[in-house]
Each structure stands twice: as C-alpha cells, then as structure tokens.
Amino acid sequence: MFYFYSQYLTLYTQSHLATGHSTCHDKFKNSGRLGSLSNTDKQARHSFTDIEKKILPEGFSNIDEGKDTWSDAHANFLSSLSKVETHDLLKISRRMNLKSRDHLFRAGDRSNDVYIVAGGCIRLFQVSSTGKETILWFSFPGEIFGMSELWRGSDRQIHAVANEATQVYSVSHKDFTYFLGTHPEAAMKAIGILSARVRALGHALVGLASDNVETRIARLLVRFATISSGTRCCADSTEGELCVNVRLTHQDIANLIGASRQTVTTTLAHLRKQGAVRAVNQHIHIVQPEHLRHLLKKGAA
Amino acid sequence: MFYFYSQYLTLYTQSHLATGHSTCHDKFKNSGRLGSLSNTDKQARHSFTDIEKKILPEGFSNIDEGKDTWSDAHANFLSSLSKVETHDLLKISRRMNLKSRDHLFRAGDRSNDVYIVAGGCIRLFQVSSTGKETILWFSFPGEIFGMSELWRGSDRQIHAVANEATQVYSVSHKDFTYFLGTHPEAAMKAIGILSARVRALGHALVGLASDNVETRIARLLVRFATISSGTRCCADSTEGELCVNVRLTHQDIANLIGASRQTVTTTLAHLRKQGAVRAVNQHIHIVQPEHLRHLLKKGAA
DNA sequence: TGACTATTGTCGTCTGGGCGACAAATATGC
DNA sequence: GCATATTTGTCGCCCAGACGACAATAGTCA
C-alpha cells in the first residue's frame, strides 16, 4: 500500500536509509520506482551536517505558512529549527532503527522520551479493551512526537509502532526539556507544533461527530495528498491528479476515521466507480480533487 | 488536585463578582444567577495584586501532578505561573466582561488574541454547515484558550461563547508571544497545557470512535465531576456522591459527545432509573460513581 | 516454488442511534 | 405576572454502518 514516499522518504532514503539495495520502496514495489533509489546507496553514511544540509534547505513549509489546516498539522519540526538548534538537538539525540511493526513504546510504558522521525513513518494509536485500534496520528519525517506526554510524569497513553522501516532520533525527557529551556525559539516552535496538533485533533473530532464515512474518507485522502504533495508520483499521473503517497491498508483508513474495514472497502469502491479516485501501484490517486472537495464542503469540519 | 470550578469560581465569584452570598450554585438557581452579578459592579475594579493574592496561594495543582488524564487536561495555566509571571502577564492583559451567550470570537474572525478565564465558563465549539454544533472544550477559570490558533496567522477556526456571565483577560497575540519569549518557564507551562489538550482531544477521539453513547456520557460526567470536585455541593449530598458542578443542558452534552439530544435525554433517564445519577438543582449528582466507572472500564478510551 | 499470511471485495443481517414531531415543564425577559 | 423561549421527556420510523462469514487476490518468506 503505499509508500509514503513523498519528498521526505525519498530524501531520507537516499541519504540515510539506503542500504544499497533495499529501500522502503522495495518493500512495496517490485519494479521501477525503486530502481532509481538503488543508486543512492553509495552515499549511505551520514553525519549531522549531512542532515542539516538535507533537511533544512529543502524549503519545507514553515509552521507559520501553512494555509491548510491539515498540512500544517504535519508541520516539520526539524526543518523549522535553525542550524544551531538542529545541531544542538541532534547532539543530544540517539538514532534508532526500527523494522516495520517494531514497537517504539506501548501504552503503559514508563519511558517518556521525545522522538523525531528521520525517515519512514510512525503510527500512533490507542487500543481499546475490545482490541479496536484508533489511529491518532501518523508521524512523517521531520515530525516530532511523544512530546505531549512529556509533562505528565505518567505512563504512556498510546502506542507508537513503525509503519514501515523507520529511523527516529530519540531525546530523553530531561535533555529535551533542557533543550527547550535553553532555546526559546525552539520552544516557540514546539508550541506551534502542539497547537497545530490541537487544531488537527479538533478537526478530526468534529468530522467524526458530524460527517459520514464517505466524507471522512474524502477528507483523509485530501489531507494525505496534501502532505505528500510536491512529490511527483513516479507512476503515470494525469494532470490535475493528486497522489496520496502513503501506504495505507483499508484497515488503517478505518482505524484512522473510526469506521469498519468493510465500510471503507465499499466506500472506496464507490468513489472509484464514480471516477473520483483510482488505485495506482498500491496507493491511491485522486483523479477528481474537486469531487472530493465538493464532499468536504457539504461536510462539517 | 483539581478543583476548579469550585475553588476558582467561588474564589472569583467572591473576590470579583461577588457579593459574598452567592456561590457557584446560585448560578443555577433561578433567582441568584444574574442578580449577584449586578452587585459586582461596586467593586468591579481590581488591582493585579488582588489577583495574585487571590489566585496564587490557593495551592492549585501544578500541571505536572495530575494523575487523571481528563482533569489535568483542564490544568490551570494561571495558577501554575509564578508571582512574577502572573504579574507580567496580567500587566499586558485587558479584562473583559461577557454576558451569557456573548461571542468572544467566531469562526472566520481575524482576531487572534489569547484569553484566560477569570470567572465563569467559555464554550469552544465548531458549527457545521448543517448547523450542528460540536463542543471541543469548556474553559474554566484559570484556563487559557485561543492559544492553539495563535501560530496560524489565519482566521479563527472555532467559536468562543460565554456559557454564562464570564470574565476573561485578553492578551494580544504579539504581547503573548513576547511574554512567552521572555518567560521561558511560562513557555514551558504553555507547552504543558497544550500537551494536556492534545491528550484530552485524543481521548475524546478514541471515545467517540469506540464507545457507545452511554459510555461517552458516563465518561463526561466523571470527568466534569472530577473537575468540579472539592466543592461541597450546597444541596444535600449523600456520602460518596459526586457533584457535577457545571450547568449543562442535554443539548450541551449531546454536542460534547457527538450524539443527538434525544439520545442523551433517554440515556440519562436510563442512568437515573438505574440509580447511578440523580438531578439536583439543575445539575447532576453521580450517586454511584462505581457504576459509571464500571462502564468506563468496558469502554475504550 | 509452494505454504502462509495479509489485504481486498461482497453478502446478508441486525441495531444503535439519528431525526421529526409533539407535549409538558421550566426559565427568562418585559 | 404574563408571554415567550428554552429545556426536558417520549414515540415511532428508518438507515448508515457495524459485524460475521466467506471467497479471491496479492504479498512474504523459507
């Protein structure tokens, strides 16, 4: 299902992940897309300065600039930091490699480090007593997570699992707090990130309370398409088409929007029949963005 | 740990609003509610030191101490600040008095001040195109709100309306940003507040996606009872009973948990028949907290 | 390449709860 | 103290969507 290869994944894949033969894309793909990636292996090892160079200048949107509520909710913490801040932060961080489905932490864990995604994708979710999983958030490269549990001094409330092979930087609670205290600008940016998350969760809440499944799916697709915009999908894509460049199973979507898997399958099939979306290489393309936006207009959030 | 509505409201009512004879419950009574407010004009003007004296020494819980996810979500920003911070913050604030149902801001407004509730209660909500209202948050005395929209540089997304006669301090975006920048400790506390809100919204989301209406109502009641604990309800209350010391119509509850008003009425009647709750003076008492907690255990969030 | 697991696609069946429509009970403004 | 507005309480109808049950693919790994 999809690859979330947006700019991020490509970026990171090239500089950090690439093991020379296997990239995240390989997991999903059998043919072309990955061909280009394999070349990257040569320059696999990196230094922090590498990272700075790679991440900062790519022109990611500043947290202030986002016009879309959803996309700025996925504001890139790392890229919003200055060179010095990035350096100081990475200095106190520890890099970790996770295989797909590795748990970073579980509900009930004592750990309360903060994490920043280097490459890949982390799924943040809760599990109910009946086993139902509700995904609260996907964290993509550059994003920070775990922050909102820092000041609780209590157990983790949620689970964090690598959705694919993922690399994260972990920073201890203590160090991170110290970092924020000594870098007021960064603290302000952290506030911005949390603010964005509050808004996004608020939106999700309103949508869940007011909209039907079709609208919620439409919103999700548009949102993820926005997040992964800027990547030209390697597959053939018609003009005006948006690519939802993230690997999502129907079950994932269901857990994300609070619906059952079957309903998601059916609704997606329906949208496909209408010609609003189509499946391309395990991921979704929005053929008629307007069709979905029209749905959203009728919706609430 | 938390009491708020109680201590705070009482506190403020007495010092600013009040009249010395009117406590929070009076609001709920037919006669007292507004009557008391008119009296306040006499001593309406206050000094900052008044506020400091009144607010700070009461030993409100620090945002770090909360054990309950819900209640610390209503962490008291103002009381967590130091004397100096409070002083500096109030210095740049402007006090506003709102009548019940006054709009503080609406979706689409350009204003992006930050507000701190002095007394009363602010309802933060969104309205869908069909007119359905979804309440995201109630802000009680000491709480700060509007913060999460500061860094957007865009229109307000939500509405803020006084749920009853309410007093707030407003601080301009610019001043507040400057305040945080010059008071790193306060900035950290702001991060703590936002974190709590992220957690609370996450909970709400999971609950909405997984639990039925009865469980959601139970959770809401327990949560609000916790917020308002510490107040001995003026009405007769049996030992072990919890008082939900907030004025909520069934419609409010419905908007809060994403259900229809009728269902709320029915479910509440059901809980009453079971002897789990009872109505006292326009508000609800939880007669059997265990009954509700049992429901929550079966639930998800 | 074959065995296994994960994902997708489709049915019926069944129900929680939305919604319109009232009537009764309260609250609030004048 | 009345007139109006708001809130509560109850029905019955109806449907979006949950859920169980399979079958068909597609993907993974030894």
- On whether the B211-300 domain is CATH 3.40.50.1860, my answer is no
Average pLDDT for B200-204: 92
Interchain proximity B180–A191, CB inside 8 Å: yes
* Other CB atoms within 10 Å distance of the CB of residue B183: 19
Write A77-83 long-range contacts (CB < 8 A, 24+): A77/A116, A77/A142, A77/A143, A77/A144, A77/A189, A77/A190, A77/A193, A78/A116, A78/A142, A78/A143, A78/A144, A79/A55, A79/A142, A80/A189, A80/A192, A81/A56, A81/A186, A81/A189, A82/A185, A83/A52, A83/A56
Residue B161 has a pLDDT of 92
Interchain proximity B300–A129, CB inside 8 Å: yes
Residue B237 has a pLDDT of 58
Pick out residues whose CB falls under 7 Å from strand D.
A 27-28, 212-214, 258-260, 262-263, 282; B 249-251, 261-262, 265-266, 268-269, 279
Instruction: Go through A96-107 and write b for each residue having 16 or more CB atoms within 10 A of its CB, e for each that does not.
Output: bebeeeeebbee
For residue B63, give the DSSP letter: T
Please report, rounded to a whole number, the percentage of residues in chain B having pLDDT higher than 70.
70
Structure confidence at residue A300 as a pLDDT band (50, 70, 90): low
The domains of chain B are located at 2-205, 211-300
The string of pLDDT tens digits covering residues A102-144 is 889 988 888 789 999 998 889 999 988 788 899 998 998 899 9
Q: How far apart are CA B57 and CA B52, in angstroms?
A: 8
The string of pLDDT tens digits covering residues A8-27 is 332 233 233 333 233 333 33
Q: Find and give the residue nearest to D16, measured CA to C1'.
A: A212
Residue A269 has a pLDDT of 94
Residue A280 has a pLDDT of 81
**Residues from chain B contacting residue A69 (CB–CB below 8 Å):** 157
The verdict on pTM exceeding 0.85 is no
The string of pLDDT tens digits covering residues B23-57 is 333 333 322 222 233 333 323 333 333 433 333 33
Check residues A58 and B106 and name the one with the higher pLDDT.
B106
Measured in angstroms, the CA of B207 and the nearest CA of chain A are apart by 9
- Residue A103, classed as helix, strand or coil, is strand
Q: At what angle do helices B83-91 and B173-182 cross, to 10 degrees?
A: 160
Please report, rounded to a whole number, the percentage of residues in chain A having pLDDT higher than 70.
71
Residue A14 has a pLDDT of 29
Average pLDDT for B120-148: 90
Residue A35 has a pLDDT of 27
Structure confidence at residue B236 as a pLDDT band (50, 70, 90): low
pLDDT surpassing 90 at residue A148: no
* Average predicted confidence (pLDDT) for chain A: 74
Residue A232 has a pLDDT of 56
Check residues A72 and B163 and name the one with the higher pLDDT.
B163
The string of pLDDT tens digits covering residues A162-200 is 988 889 999 999 999 999 999 999 999 999 999 999 999
The string of pLDDT tens digits covering residues A200-245 is 999 999 999 999 999 999 999 998 888 876 555 655 556 677 888 8
* Average predicted confidence (pLDDT) for chain B: 75
Q: Which fold has domain B2-205?
A: Jelly Rolls (2.60.120)
**Residues from chain A contacting residue B203 (CB–CB below 8 Å):** 157
Structure confidence at residue B75 as a pLDDT band (50, 70, 90): confident
**Residues from chain B contacting residue A136 (CB–CB below 8 Å):** 202, 205-206
**Do the first three CATH levels of B2-205 and B211-300 match, i.e. the same topology?**
no
Most confident of A137-141, A282-286, B56-60, B289-293: A137-141
Structure confidence at residue B218 as a pLDDT band (50, 70, 90): very high
pLDDT surpassing 80 at residue A34: no
